[in-house]
C-alpha cells in the first residue's frame, strides 16, 4: 500500500501485528538476557538493574507517544486528517528534543543513578558499561516510539511489526559476535552497542515507511505560527498517562532495592522470572494497544456505545488468554527456568513465582485493556490517581511486609504485585462502566455529530 486512506480497523486486524511486534520487543530483551546468561549470571543481574533505569526513560518518552496515538486516532475518526498530520509533526519535534535531553542526562549521571539504586559494588562496572552506551542513544528509541504511534493510529500496524522483526535479527546477530565471537569486547558493552545500532537502523526504516504511508507531512504541515495548542493537548494526555507508567516503574525501582537486600541471586531470579512472565501478559498488552486505536477512532466519531462494548469484549478476551497462558507456563515452569540457568535454588524460587502469576496475570489484564481504553477516550487522570494510590499504598508496603519483614523473599514481593494489579484493575472497570469518559474527548464538538 502507498499513500492512501487508512485501512479499516477491526480488533483482530489491528491486534495481531501489535502482538507480534510486542513479542519481538520482549524477545529482544530476552535474547540479551539469555545470551548474557551464557557469559555470566552477574552480567544478567547488572543489566537487569540498568534496564530498570532505561525502562523509566522509555516511559518518559512514552508520554508524547501516548498523546500522539490518542490524538491522531481521534482526529482520524473525526475525518480530520490534516489536523492529525499537524499533531504528528509537533509530536516528532517534541519527542526528538526531549529524547536528546534525557540521553545526555543518563549518560553523564549513569554511575550516580545506579549507586542510588543500591547496586552491589561488584556489579557497578558491568551495569555502568551497559547503561552509558544504551543511555546516550536512547533518543533513537524516543523517535521510533513516536513514529510507530503515528503509523498504528493510521492503522498500519504491520509496518512497525516488520521493522521490529528486522531489529531483532540485527540485535541477536550483533550479540552473537560480541559475546561468542573473536572480538575482545566486554559482554555488557557489546550487547549495549548491538542494541543501539539495531535501533538506529530501525529508525531509518520506520521513517521511510512513515513518508510512504502518509506523504511528506513535514511539507504538508505549516509550523508558522507553531501550533502550540497541539503541544498542550499532547501534554494534557501524555503527562498523566506517563505519570501512571512512571509511577509504576518508580515503584519497581523501590522494590528492586528491596530485592537487592535479599542478595544477587534473588535479583537474578527476579530478572529471569519477569523475562518469562512477559510472554504471558503480552497478549493483554497487544489487545490493550489495539483497543486504544479502535476506541480512539470510535470516540472521535462520537460512537460511544460501540466504544463501550468494544472495550468489554477486549477485556474478556484478555483475561481468558492470560489465565490460559499462565496455566501452561506453570506446567513447564522448571523446564523454562532451566533455559536460563542450572542453579537449583534459582529454578526452585522462580518456579514458585511462575505459579503465582496464575493469580497475577488475569488481574494485570484489567489494567492493560481498560486503562488503554480510558486514555483513548481522553479520561487520562483517573488511572494516574488510582495507580499512584495503589502502587505506593499497596504494592510497595505489602512487598516489604511479606518479602522482607516476614522473610517470604520473592514470593512475598509477588503477593504485593498481585494485590496492586487486582485493586487497580477493578477500579478501572468501575470507571469504564460509569461512562464518565464520554465527556472527555479531545476532538472538536462538530466531530461528534456522527454519534450512535
Mean pLDDT value of segment 180-198: 78
Query: Are 244 and 381 a contacting pair, CB within 8 Å?
Result: no
Query: What pLDDT shows up at residue 452?
Result: 40
Question: What is the distance between the alpha carbons of residues 388 and 375, in angstroms, rounded to a whole number?
Answer: 16
Domain assignment present for residue 1? The answer is no
For the chain, the average pLDDT equals 83
Burial 388-427 (b: 16+ CB within 10 A, else e): bebbeebbbebbbebbbeeeebbebbbbbbbbbbbbbbeb
Which whole number is the average pLDDT over 163-187? 79
Is 2 part of a structural domain of the chain? no
pLDDT value at residue 7: 45
- Residue 417 included in any domain: yes
More confident residue, 146 or 117: 146
Average pLDDT over residues 84-90: 87
| Res 184: pLDDT | 59
Q: Which residues contact 446 (CB under 8 A, 6 or more apart)?
A: none
Supply the pLDDT for residue 451. Answer: 41
pLDDT in tens, 227-283: 788 888 888 887 777 677 778 778 888 998 898 888 888 888 888 888 788 777 788
Higher confidence at residue 114 or residue 447? 114
Q: CA-to-CA distance for 197 and 194, rounded, in angstroms? A: 5
Cα–chain-centroid distance for residue 273?
17
279 assigned to some structural domain: yes
Which residue range(s) make up the domain with 343? 11-450
Residues 6 or more apart in contact with residue 429 via CB below 8 angstroms: 315, 366, 370
The pLDDT of residue 379 is above 80: yes
pLDDT-derived band at 186, boundaries 50, 70, 90: low
Give me the number of domains the chain comprises.
1
User: What is the percent of the chain where pLDDT is above 70?
Assistant: 90
Q: Pick the more confident residue, 382 or 339.
A: 382
In a domain, 5, yes or no: no
Q: Is 409 part of any domain? A: yes
The arithmetic mean of pLDDT across residues 288-293, rounded, is: 86
Mean pLDDT is lowest, of 56-70, 118-132, 159-173, 337-351, for 56-70
Within a domain: residue 154?
Answer: yes
Could you identify the residue written with the cell 460501540?
Answer: 306
Confidence of residue 450 (pLDDT cuts 50, 70, 90): very low
Amino acid at each position: 500500500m502507498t499513500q492512501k486512506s487508512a485501512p479499516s480497523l477491526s480488533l483482530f486486524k489491528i491486534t495481531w501485528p501489535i502482538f507480534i511486534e510486542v513479542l519481538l520487543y520482549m524477545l529482544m530483551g530476552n535474547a540479551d538476557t539469555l545470551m548474557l546468561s551464557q557469559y555470566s549470571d552477574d552480567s544478567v543481574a547488572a543489566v537487569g538493574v540498568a534496564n530498570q533505569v532505561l525502562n523509566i526513560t522509555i516511559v518518559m518518552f512514552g508520554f508524547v507517544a501516548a498523546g500522539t496515538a490518542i490524538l491522531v486516532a481521534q482526529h482520524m475518526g473525526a475525518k480530520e486528517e490534516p489536523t492529525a498530520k499537524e499533531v504528528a509533526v509537533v509530536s516528532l519535534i517534541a519527542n526528538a528534543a526531549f529524547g536528546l535531553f534525557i540521553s545526555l542526562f543518563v549518560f553523564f549521571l549513569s554511575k550516580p543513578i545506579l549507586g542510588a539504586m543500591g547496586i552491589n559494588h561488584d556489579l557497578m562496572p558491568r551495569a555502568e558499561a551497559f547503561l552509558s552506551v544504551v543511555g546516550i542513544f536512547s533518543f533513537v528509541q524516543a523517535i521510533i516510539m513516536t513514529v510507530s504511534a503515528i503509523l498504528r493510529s493510521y492503522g498500519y500496524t504491520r509496518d512497525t511489526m516488520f521493522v521490529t522483526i528486522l531489529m531483532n535479527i540485527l540485535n541477536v546477530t550483533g550479540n552473537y559476535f560480541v559475546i561468542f565471537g573473536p572480538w575482545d569486547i566486554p559482554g555488557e558493552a557489546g550487547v549495549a552497542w548491538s542494541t543501539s545500532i539495531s535501533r538506529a537502523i530501525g529508525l531509518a526504516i520506520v521513517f521511510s515507511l512513515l513518508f510512504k504511508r502518509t506523504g511528506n507531512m513535514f511539507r504538508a504541515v505549516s509550523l508558522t505560527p507553531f501550533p502550540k495548542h497541539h503541544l498542550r493537548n499532547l501534554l494534557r494526555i501524555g503527562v498523566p498517562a506517563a505519570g501512571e507508567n512512571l509511577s509504576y516503574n518508580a515503584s519497581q525501582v523501590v522494590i528492586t532495592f528491596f530485592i537487592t537486600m535479599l542478595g544477587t541471586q534473588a535479583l537474578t531470579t527476579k530478572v529471569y522470572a519477569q523475562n518469562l512472565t512477559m510472554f504471558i501478559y503480552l497478549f493483554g498488552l497487544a489487545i490493550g494497544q489495539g483497543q486504544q486505536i479502535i476506541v480512539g477512532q470510535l470516540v472521535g466519531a462520537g460512537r460511544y456505545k460501540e466504544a463501550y462494548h468494544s472495550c468489554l469484549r477486549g477485556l474478556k478476551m484478555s483475561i481468558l488468554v492470560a489465565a490460559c497462558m499462565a496455566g501452561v507456563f506453570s506446567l513447564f515452569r522448571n523446564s523454562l527456568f532451566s533455559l536460563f540457568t542450572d542453579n537449583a535454588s534459582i529454578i526452585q524460587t522462580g518456579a514458585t513465582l511462575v505459579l503465582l502469576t496464575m493469580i497475577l496475570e488475569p488481574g494485570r489484564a484489567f489494567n492493560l485493556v481498560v486503562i488503554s481504553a480510558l486514555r483513548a477516550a481522553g479520561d487520562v487522570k483517573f488511572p494516574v490517581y488510582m495507580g499512584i494510590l495503589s502502587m505506593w499504598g499497596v504494592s510497595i508496603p505489602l512487598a516489604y511486609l511479606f518479602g522482607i519483614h516476614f522473610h517470604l523473599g520473592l514470593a512475598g514481593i509477588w503477593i504485593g504485585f498481585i494485590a496492586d494489579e487486582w485493586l487497580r484493575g477493578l477500579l478501572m472497570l468501575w470507571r469504564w462502566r460509569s461512562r464518565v469518559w464520554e465527556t472527555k474527548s479531545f476532538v472538536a464538538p462538530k466531530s461528534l455529530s456522527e454519534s450512535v
